[in-house]
Structure 1
Amino acid sequence: MPPVEVEWTSVIGLANQTLTTPALIDFVDQFASVLPEDVCTYIRQIHRRNVLRNDRLAGQLEEAVIAMNGQGVTPVLLKGAATLATAPVERRGVRLMSDLDIMVVPDETEAAVSALVAVGYEIHEHASSESQRWHADLKRAQDVGTIDLQRSAPGITHFYRGPGCTLDGCVSKPFGQGRVYIPTPTYQALMLIIHDQFQDYGYWIGDLDLRHLVDLRDLSNSAESIDWKELASHLSGKLMRNAVQTQLVALVELLGVNVPHPLRSRLIPRLQFARRLIQARFPIMRWPFLTMALLDYGNYRREISIQSQLTGKRRRGSWSLPRASSVRLILNTAGAVRFGKV
């Protein structure tokens, strides 16, 4: 049963901040008889509107896939786009999403962009063609969301150099009248964690993305489920192991997912999770806790050195001090208000 004394305005405020309000529909459906009527009405209304929005996003996604297929491109659906393609229709409105994340292999980038432009999309912004993490945001006036077109998986490329490349973790499936690649639940979990911990800097600044934790819980509860042994096989170094296991500790402690004990029992991940709880309760602690990045800075430098050796690029030594620009980036990110994060 839900707690007796709850300040529901704060609960809904936190759900709005973390973009998880539609996911509360399960809670409302189960406990409506003991919840305030206005709470139930509000959450049901948000969920109902999100169902309509996600139905439109699904139609938009199918049209984009068909257009790209016509140019010989089979895209990989990431994050929310993958959820739209795999979730039962009755569960489509649970996840709130702002755009459609689609990945294509580098050689197909031009064909994918041309296909989308041909059906009315305009390039809103894009990274330079030489950028290590190229992406383009495409939009149309009639759509409820943009397309975030990418040509690499989230985060540092080195993290995907385990058992195989990104496509090795995907399966080809029909989507409406088109065909797509969809990561397996295990690979979806890996991508979500790498995205939050490194691309969004969550591991360094101690953020929690509750929406993506809910996604991980749902992947664990799906028919195919997460293969924890396979996920562990992708953990290629100390930094990645600490970051991934920090997220798994949060998954166990906050959402009760049954993660194997060896993946959630090590000291540094548990310390990192404790840091996140303290920062969430006392935001001022975010600043002194930034020093916890030093626990893994040496591991980070070693990972970068390995990547440099593989690409043939010259990098600074494993124990060099961080660049001033990197320090400024972390400080600015730590002080920013970022929706979806707590």
Structure 2
Amino acid sequence: MSVIGLANETLTTPALIDFVDQHASVLPEDVSAYVRQIYRRNVQRNERLADQLEEAVVAMNGRGITPVLLKGAATLAATPERRGVRLMSDLDIMVMPDEAEDAISALRAIGYEIHAQASRESRRWFVELIRSIDVGAIDLQQAVPGPAYCYRDAALSHCVPMSLGRGSVRIPAPTYRALMLIIHDQFQDYGYWLGDLDLRHLVELRDLNSSIGGLDWKELTSHISGGLMKNAVETQLFALAELLGVEIPQALRSRLIPRLQFIRQLMQARFPGSRVPFLAMTVLDLRNYRREASLGYAQSARRGSWSMPKANTMHFLLKMATAVRAGKV
């Protein structure tokens, strides 16, 4: 029951189907039946999401837009045989900044309404569009996940064209998809600063490594642009090796700060009350963060200097550390 409970909490219950299929003869019947039912229902839901995605893509293609599929949307298109494994709440789609208005118009023409939208001045612009007939929203974006300074070059240079039913899309190559997942968890969702684990995305990283060709570790490390990103990527890879048994090169799971971060993640998962005291670990990489952020945004003031985090930063992190977030432990 503890395994089922953790899977429910981390939104990974459908992924247990592989274990159930392999070991059904020694598992309690009710456990196998429960996992199979959740998996079957998720297959049905994700098939509807796939149909919804194809319709949206065709509409955008009609305006001359070939969108880039991110995260779960990329999984639906690239590995249809694994559609039932991943729980999804929305479809992440990226278009170029000069295509955004045409993309919104194309989606509104087929019945979507704007549910939420970031201001044009915000660093991460997005529009969330919904229809009452769908099982999920469309999260339309114009940039890859996380801070811009985490990426050395344009995402389009790492995408391959692909057909999606009647439509055409671009899908990031597996290693670049892995990079984006790591940056999403560690920086866009603040996992590196908060010590969070996202087991759903760790399972996805494992599946990417198990796909034909696997992940290219040399290529992955070639995208690392500084000390902060190196620590964040290696923290995720260390968790991938320790929790899911993925073979990671020793050089990518031997350094001290990633090891300390993983110990922190385990402690916080087992003892949630430790989350607030462990926030002190955020100062370990504050110097790296300020140096790399200043380089990324062309700000030269106090480059590489160290000081305590600002009060509003700590207030925000404290609020996030004590919030209940779906799928995070």
Q: Shorter-chain-normalised TM-score: which range?
A: over 0.9
**2:107 aligned with 1:116:** yes
1:335 aligned residue: 322
1:93 aligns with 2:84: yes
Q: Which residue does the alignment assign to 2:271?
A: 282
| Residue number in structure 2 paired with 1:151 | 142
Q: Distance in 1 between matches of 2:104 and 2:69?
A: 15
**Identity, % of aligned pairs?**
68
Please say if residues 129 and 138 of structure 2, whose CA atoms lie closer than 8 Å, have aligned partners that are also in contact: yes
Q: Tell me the SS of whatever aligns to 2:73.
A: helix
Look up the equivalent residue of 2:320 and give its one-letter code. T
Aligned residue type for 1:283: P
Cα displacement (A) at 1:96: 0.7
Give distance in 1, aligned partners of 2:127 and 2:193. Answer: 26
Unaligned runs of 5+ in 2: none
CA drift of 1:88 comes to 3.5
Deviates more, 1:49-58 or 1:277-286: 277-286
Other-structure match for 1:215 = 204
TM-score after normalising by structure 1: 0.94
CA distance in 2, matches of 1:215, 1:203: 18
Deviation at 1:80, TM superposition (A): 0.3
What is the distance in 2 between the residues matched to 1:294 and 1:130?
Answer: 29
- The structure-2 alpha-carbon separation of the partners of 1:172 and 1:106, relative to structure 1 and needing over 3 Å to count, comes to same
Q: Which runs of 4+ in 1 moved over 4 A?
A: 313-317
In 2, Cα distance between equivalents of 1:328 and 1:120: 40
Question: Following TM superposition, by how much is the alpha carbon of 1:98 offset from its aligned partner in structure 2, in angstroms?
Answer: 0.6
Cα distance between partner residues in 2 of 1:49 and 1:220: 26
Distance in 2 of aligned mates of 1:268 and 1:54: 38
Matches within 5 A, 1:306-321: 306-309=295-298, 313=299, 318-321=305-308
Q: Is the 8 A contact 2:239 2:262 kept in 1?
A: yes
SS of residue in 2 equivalent to 1:220: helix
Aligned residue among 290, 293, 306 for 2:282: 293
Structure 1 residue runs of 5 or longer lacking an equivalent are 1-7
CA spacing shift, 1:113–1:258, aligned 2, 3 Å: same
Shift of 1:314: 6.6
Tell me which amino acid in the other structure corresponds to 1:67: A
> Structure 1 residue 316: deviation in Å?
5.6
How far the C-alpha of 1:278 sits from its partner, in A, is 1.1
CA deviations over 1:207-246 (Å, ceiling 9, x no partner): 0000000000000000132111000001110000000000
- Does structure 2 conserve the Cα–Cα contact (< 8 Å) formed by 1:308 and 1:315? no
Which residue does 1:133 correspond to in 2? 124
Amino acid at match of 2:315: R
In 2, distance between residues paired with 1:21 and 1:315? 47
Number of the residue aligned with 1:236:
225
5 Å-filtered alignment, 1:1-342, equals 8=1, 10-89=2-81, 91-160=82-151, 162=152, 164-309=153-298, 313=299, 318-342=305-329
Do the aligned residues in 1 keep the contact of 2:68 with 2:170 (CA within 8 Å)?
yes
Deviations 1:69-92 (A, max 9, x none): 000111110000000001133x21
Cα pair 2:283 2:309 within 8 Å, conserved: no
- The answer to whether the 8 A contact 2:93-2:140 is kept is yes
Q: Which amino acid aligns with 1:290?
A: L
Distance 1:32 1:302, change over 3 A: same
CA contact (8 A) 1:245 1:269 kept: yes
| 2-structure distance, mates of 1:287, 1:316 | 28
Distance 2:161 2:118 in 1: 28
Give, in angstroms, the shift of residue 133 of structure 1: 0.2
Shift in CA distance, 278/72, structure 1 to aligned 2, threshold 3 Å: same
TM-score (norm 2): 0.97
**Whole-angstrom CA distance in 2 between matches of 1:291 and 1:337:** 20
Structure 2 Cα separation of the partners of residues 167 and 315 of structure 1: 32
C-alpha contact 2:275 2:321 (8 A) present in aligned 1: yes
Kept in 1, the 8 Å contact 2:149–2:296? The answer is yes
Pairwise CA distance, 1:315: 5.2
Secondary structure of 1:39's counterpart equals helix
Q: For residue 155 of structure 1, give the secondary structure of its aligned residue in structure 2.
A: coil
Name the CA distance, whole Å, in 1 between partners of 2:78 and 2:213.
11
| Alpha-carbon distance between aligned partners in 2 of 1:267 and 1:294, rounded to the nearest angstrom | 15
CA distance in 2 between partners of 1:82 and 1:181 (Å): 9
1:321 offset after TM fit, Å?
3.9
Cα offset, 1:320, TM superposition: 4.4
Aligned partner letter, 2:37: Q
